[in-house]
Structure 1
């Protein structure tokens, strides 16, 4: 991969998009979106989005870097990323846009339920610790279930796709087609 991201890079993108849309993201929701991004990206591209383990914590899958940087639970809102936004490849942008469109409208509690009800979290979580990693291949195999679960938790679709605000400033025109395609592909699920 030519543009390797970290889980903090992924988190920064979601935080920036959430803030631009006027809906700051909670720590709990952020961790779920970052983990779900690893699942979808692996499913679509057969490689890791970021080279970090996703761990089985009490409220679902978490990366250590995001947990240490933004906290490990709770609904307190995050208003700005603590790392710089990185330019994204077309595949990375597609993945993050889809995750935002399908899962951002879910409440943090529904995100926790989605990651508990579907996927390998329960197989690796131990209440007494130590917290264990969820194997990447199992996280990837769980993607269709995660997506189906998000669809069943929704009632209506609306456009919740990020706009031009998350474009890197340099090479600005280079991203126009990527955002256009992301807008066409993103599905948003809004709960009542």
Structure 2
């Protein structure tokens, strides 16, 4: 069976519905005033296509570690939901064992915010809680609540240094409600 855009859209809708169902109890983000909805619905259009990804990941998170590991990967993104969503298929050649994962994004025209979910084949029965946010002055910041090692944390994704052929992404965790942040993963994207 081939992966046509229509089939991809159907998969994206199914995954987004599953993500919504698993996070429906979480507090919904409040509307953002003064957001140009027509402009921001296209915030991720630049990411459409195939990318080479260089990962730089902290080996132990929220443990005071300073030891990092580097590995390669790929990402391929397409638009869904008539441009109000995206899905990306990711391959991570991590030293402990390569795996695939899917990023799902959806733009909420009522709140003016993007929601981002992560689904990892190693834990295929669990989709990560979403992070919410958007772009301002060329930087996209998205945050949300999660747990790590059984304790509540804040998670932040940030996109920056975006050009037609490159971009920088990073992830940070906060164990203290956002007072301090530990950056634990960065990715350098280069268009394939």
Specify the structure having the higher radius of gyration (Cα). Answer: 2
More helix per residue: 1 or 2?
A: 1
TM-score between the two structures when normalised by the length of structure 1: 0.29
Q: Which has the higher contact order (CA 8 A, sep 6+)?
A: 1
